[in-house]
Structure 1
């Protein structure tokens, strides 16, 4: 079987339709049906940013309901759930604060799905059906990082299919807890703190004291942060050249290929390493392209740049 692993869509349904059509999927009046021997897998971040939120969700969930596709949860679906859920310990607060930054990040979705509406409740319920990760005999699929230690912390809180429960959502929203840190690893990646007094400003203008690292590299420790950081060049340039990372507690504990989204890559698609592929090539901006990696489950390795397909919208 060929699994078509599709990157972060972020509400750009026209790009999704273009990519599915390019891959040979055909709409049968109810959903896009794959070519014989194919199945789609959506790597998360279906929502936010783009102008076609509902249209995107309708396409994806019609395929999920027809059992011709799978999906894993992205941090934006998780954020939507936390943004809409009151904290049981502090009933006046939501699990995800309704501050200016969070509201701006979520505004495209709420423009089409008004907060508290029947439609809003429906889609939140559907998001809860998406597992945090999937593992098959041939590969591993997760939005940001395949960290089995973090998954072991989360597993007792989840359903048998690795979906969020109300308890899991509440506990993973509490900062400075093992559950919060585990969820952050799986859906947002591995981070390292910047040295005291050093901060960087990201592409959205948010000041950050931590930076994501390229966890798929060998030997992360004792290297300059600039060598291992995964951030825009403009942000990395704010870090002094000789600044080294603190010891990073991460080890990749699988021999299977791993597929992620999340990282806003650019340029010609290529595997991140001999074992890791990212299919997020910044489709949420005009200069980026919705991207797919076609995995042959009979021969998953070696990973090859020839397996990428991009929808080159005009």
Structure 2
């Protein structure tokens, strides 16, 4: 079986249609049908940013309902649920605050799916169906980081299929809790504190005292922050180049290949390490290409550069008539 692991779509349905057609999927009037011996797997972040939110969700969930694809939850799906769920301790607030930054992040989604509407409630319930991770005999799939210790903390809050429950959503929304930290690790990645109280402003305008690190590198705690950080150079400019990354408690505890999205990579796709593949190559911006890794379940390793497929939307003059 070939598993077509598809990166973060972020509401760019035209790119998704183009990639599926390039991979040989054919629409039968109900859903996209994979070529013989193939199955799709979406690595999360289906929503936000792009202008085709509903179309993206309809394409993906039609494939899930037809059992020709799988998907895991991304941090944007999680955030959509938290943004829409009142805080049981204070009904005037939501689990994810409606501040200016969060409201802007959800703008594209809510422009098509009005807050509180019946269609909003429908899609929120469908998002609950996405597991936080999937593990097969041949590979592991998660949006940001395969951390079995964090997964063990989350397990009691999930269904048997590793799907979030309403109780789990509330528990993981409580900052300064083990459940919150575990959810952050699985859906957003590994972070380390910035030295000496430094603050970094991210692309959303949020001030951060921690920086995301490339957890797939070896010897994380013996490298400088500049070496291990996954952040723009402009954001790292205020951090001393000799500042060390410290107290990063992470170890990859599987021998299987691990597939993630989330990281806004650019350039020519290649494995991040001998064991890790990211399929997010910034499709959420016009210049980014929706990317797939074709995993052979019979021979998952070694990972191969030639297994990547990108849909070059800026080179495709075909009219996409499905939308």
TM-score for both structures, normalised by structure 1: 0.99
Matched length: 314
Distance 1:198 1:40 in 2: 42
Which residue number corresponds to residue 85 of structure 2?
85
Residues 42, 70 of structure 1: 8 Å contact kept: yes
Partner of 2:33: 33
Q: Please, which moves more after superposition, 196-205 or 114-123?
A: 196-205
Q: Is the 8 A contact 1:222 1:247 kept in 2?
A: no
Normalised by the length of structure 2, the TM-score is: 0.96
Distance 1:302 1:233 in 2: 31
Aligned twin of 1:119: 119
Aligned partner of residue 29 in structure 2, secondary structure: coil
Shift of 1:178: 0.2
Deviation at 1:279, TM superposition (A): 0.1
Q: Deviations over 1:211-238 (max 9, x none)?
A: 0000001110032100000112222223
Match of 1:297 in 2: 297
CA distance in 1, matches of 2:270, 2:38: 21
Q: Paired residue for 1:235?
A: 235
Q: Give CA-to-partner distance per residue, 1:61-118, whole Å, 9 cap, x none.
A: 0000000000000000000000000111112110000000000000000000000000
For residue 194 of structure 1, what is the aligned residue in structure 2? 194
- Once the 2 structures are TM-superposed, how far is the Cα of residue 245 of structure 1 from its aligned partner? 1.4
Alpha-carbon distance in 1 for matches of 2:284, 2:143: 16
Question: Would the aligned equivalents of 1:39 and 1:69 in 2 still touch at CA under 8 Å?
Answer: yes
What is the aligned partner in structure 2 of residue 280 from structure 1? 280
Instruction: Extract structure 1 runs of 4+ deviating beyond 3 A.
Output: none
- Structure 2 Cα separation of the partners of residues 59 and 13 of structure 1: 8
Q: 1: distance between equivalents of 2:123 and 2:41?
A: 19
Do the aligned partners of 2:101 and 2:205 also contact (CA within 8 Å) in 1?
no
- The equivalent of 2:180 in structure 1 is 180
User: 1:288 offset after TM fit, Å?
Assistant: 0.7
Q: Secondary structure at the match of 1:221?
A: helix
Q: Give the SS at the match of 2:106.
A: helix
What secondary structure does 1:235 align onto? helix
Alpha-carbon distance in structure 1 between the residues aligned to 2:185 and 2:193: 14
Is 1:75 aligned with 2:90? no
**2:107, 2:219 → 1: CA distance?**
39
Spell out the pairing of 1:203-214 with structure 2 (5 A cutoff).
203-214=203-214
Q: Which residue of 1 aligns with 2:160?
A: 160
> Structure 2: how far apart are the matches of 1:264 and 1:147?
20
Matched residues in 1 for 2:28 and 2:95: separation?
40
1: distance between equivalents of 2:286 and 2:86? 36
Deviates more, 1:285-294 or 1:232-241: 232-241
Aligned equivalent of 2:320: none
Match of 1:129 in 2: 129
Name the CA distance, whole Å, in 2 between partners of 1:35 and 1:64.
Answer: 16
Runs of at least 5 residues in structure 2 that lack an aligned partner in the other structure: 315-323
Deviations 1:228-260 (A, max 9, x none): 001122222232111111211101000000000
Q: Which residue of the partner structure matches residue 109 of structure 1?
A: 109
Superposed CA offset, 1:253-304 (max 9, x none) = 0000000000000000000000000000000111210000000000000001
Give yes or no for contact 1:272–1:278 (8 Å, CA) kept in 2: yes
For the Cα contact (< 8 Å) 2:2–2:297, is it kept in 1?
yes
